[in-house]
A = this chain, B = another copy of it.
Amino acid sequence: MQARDLTGRQPREVRQLIREGRWTRPTSGLCLGHAQANMAILPRDLAFDFLLFAQRNPKPCPLLEVLDPGSPEPRRIAPGADVRTDLPKYRVYRYGVLEDEPTDIRTYWRDDFVTFLIGCSFTFEAGLVQAGVPVRHMELDRNVSMYITNIACDPAGVFHGPMVVSMRPVPAAQVAKAVQVSGRYPSVHGAPVHIGSPEALGVKDIQKPDFGDTPVFKPGEVPVFWACGVTPQTVAMTVKPEIMISHCPGYMFLTDVPNESLAVV
């Protein structure tokens, strides 16, 4: 089974394949037109602070759904799904140390776990492509370039740290279009946080990203920076929580939400 076989399938069907262990690879390109989500699971005693952190930092932490303590079903964005089995790969951290990369987290599950599902840049990237704005890392089948910035997130309780941004090179004549298109999706990072001038963000060498692959610029392209969903995980890790479970990067949760339903205009 190839990703292209699942491009046009419904998220519910593909979640079932994942649950049965029949799809174990990254989710990029699956169920085209539907939003995918980052995931972070934390114990209830950290949940208020983390929810407040997301409320105060909506650009890097756009919440698609927060589940009731103990509930594994995102009944708003994916009724019938189970976050314990429906992602292809997870990461389990104890006190900030990666302990396991399981394909099922039922044995780890606790009644006090609160699951946060967070919007992902795949949604606005699909919008950019449709609007004719080139998305270089997709063209080259690479990972997007990400940087730790000197922008401090607005802290909340125990959570604090710098904003992580993703960067896409955009032709100067299409930067305004990129702003307008991504700005339509405030629940999946929205408009860029910064355009041009990497040094003003504390990025000393654009060719040396902190995460992801090295960027490829063409002449006349400008670096455009968006708040990145890696931020909340990075911030959560600095607290070294007793336990935290997330998706494995690239192995996202497939929601039933059509990308277009997240557009504001």
Contacts and interface: CB of A to CB of B under 8 A. Distances in A.
A4 interface: no
A178 interface: no
Interface in A58-95: 63, 66, 68, 76
A68 B48 CA distance: 11
Nearest to A67: B52
Interface residues of A, number: 18
A61 to B, nearest CB: 11
A186 interface: yes
A264 interface: yes
Contact of A52 (B66, B156, B183, B186): B66
Contacts of A237: none
Interface string A143-182: 0000000000010110000000000000000000000000
Interface of A: 44, 47-48, 51-52, 55-56, 63, 66, 68, 76, 154, 156-157, 183, 186, 264-265
